[in-house]
Amino acid sequence: MAVKKLAVLFSGGGSNLEAILQKLHGKTFGETKIEVVLTLSNKADAGGIAKAAKFGLQSVILNHKDFASREEFDAALVREIEKSGAELTVLAGFMRILTPVFTSRVRAINLHPSLLPLFKGAHAIEQSFESDMKVGGVSVHWVSEELDGGAIIAQRAFEKSAGMSFEAYETKIHEIEHELLPQVVVEILCQS
C-alpha cells in the first residue's frame, strides 16, 4: 500500500481543511492511503488551527509579517513543506500571493471560489455574485506564478436562482468546495 503525504496551507476558518481531514486523512482509496502531514497557517488566530487539532495535528504558524520579503516567507514555507515530506500541497483559503521561490519548488493546487479565469483574487465570491452571470462556481487549479492563473484541473458550476441572497450564494460555493477539493486531491494522489 502506498502512503501519499499531503500538506494543507490555510489563513482563515479552515472549513476546507476540515473537509480534507474528514474525508481524506488516514483514509484509503484503492491501493493508496492519504495522510495529512502538515497543516500550516500564516495567521496565529486562524480558526483552522483548532480544526486541525481535533485530528491530532499541531499546525505550524509562519506569520508572513515576521519576514522581510515575500521571497523570505516563501523560502520558509518551502522548508516546512520539504521537511514534512508532502508530495502535494493544497492551498485551502491561503491568502498569500506566492513567488517563484515557492512555485518553482512545490507541487501545489489552489481552490478558488469562482469559475476561472473570471474573478481572480480575494473578492471572487462578491464579484461573481454581483456580476450578470447566471452561474457561479468553484475552480481547482495548479499553482503558478500568476495569481489564480495556473492550469485548471476541475470546475463545478451551479445556477444562480432568481432572488438568491449573497449568504445563500456563498453557502453554495462552500458546499461545492468541500466536495470538489477532496475529490481532486484523491484523483491526483491516486494517479501519481
Q: How far apart are CA 85 and CA 149, in angstroms?
A: 26
Question: Shortest CA distance to 157 belongs to which of 114, 117, 110?
Answer: 114
Domain that holds residue 26: 2-190
H or E stretch at 99: none
Say what the pLDDT of residue 192 is. Answer: 63
Q: Which residues carry out catalysis?
A: 112
Judge if pTM exceeds 0.85: yes
Per-residue pLDDT of the chain (192 residues; tens, 9 = 90+): 899 999 999 999 999 999 999 999 999 999 999 999 999 999 999 999 999 999 999 999 999 999 999 999 999 999 999 999 999 999 999 999 999 999 999 999 999 999 999 999 999 999 999 999 999 999 999 999 998 999 999 999 999 998 999 999 999 999 999 999 999 999 999 986
DSSP 66: G
CA–CA gap between residue 34 and residue 27 (Å, rounded):
6
Q: What angle do CA 183, 121, 108 make, to 5 degrees?
A: 40
**CATH number of 185's domain:** 3.40.50.170
Binding residues for (6R)-10-formyltetrahydrofolate: 70, 95-98, 110
Q: Are 96 and 106 in contact (CB under 8 A)?
A: no
Cα–Cα distance for residue pair 124/31, rounded to 1 Å: 37
Compute the chain's Rg from CA coordinates. 16
Instruction: Please state the domain count of the chain.
Output: 1
Q: Which residues are annotated as a binding site?
A: 14-16, 70, 95-98, 110
